[in-house]
Amino acid sequence: MSDEFELDTDDLKRRMDGAMANLRTEFASLRTGRASASMLEPVMVDAYGSMTPINQVGTVNVPEPRMVTINVWDKGLVGKVEKAIRESGLGINPQLNGTIIMLPIPELNEERRRELGKVAGQYAEHARVAIRNVRRDGMDQIKKAKADGMSEDDQKFWEAEVQELTDKMIKVVDEALEAKQAEIMQV
């Protein structure tokens, strides 16, 4: 192997792990019939001229298994928070009570479960694309090193390393998707 070129596989793995962490966060936001504060994490509110996470404009509580409440701190943002929830695609209809927004979590019907399964599939595909982009960056580094005089054997070795890491991470994404879809379809 060449002494000059050492691909930073730890960096590639770290970036792929970041895609997985993002996927887990997105999966946590998919409701499975039970109320959870984490289901609101991806919802961003246009507050004070920038997109802000919902938990930074109010207190999110789960007072009962089928209800989430948000106590909005600034009265002027109540409408914006409500709009952000309606447009988030969570399928929840917010109810206003002063500065408190109540989100009753409806029982999931079969059709809604299928929709959520598809959304989970889209999230998984985004994670796969992110992982493939990291793979492409690694391959580009290898091609550049090849142009700088790396041997063909070294090139093949590093390409195999990157591909093996990619395959492993894609498999983890697929397993996480299967588990989430099973959780969603569980009545």
Cα 163 → chain centroid? 23
Q: How many domains does the chain have?
A: 2
Percent of the chain past pLDDT 90, that is, above it, reads: 37
- At residue 7 the predicted structure's pLDDT band, cuts being 50, 70 and 90, is confident
Q: What is the mean pLDDT of the chain?
A: 87
pTM score, whole prediction = 0.67
CB proximity list for 90: less than 8 A, separation 6 or greater: 29, 31, 39, 40, 43
89 vs 113 pLDDT, higher one: 113
Whether residue 4 has pLDDT greater than 70: no
CATH number at residue 123: 1.10.132.20
Percent of the chain exceeding pLDDT 70 equals: 95
The dihedral through the CA atoms of 131, 128, 122, 94 has a sign that is negative
Query: What is the token pair recorded at 101?
Result: 């927004």
Last residue of a domain, one of 104, 125, 149: 104
The H or E element containing residue 147 is helix 110-147
Average pLDDT of the residues in 163-181: 94
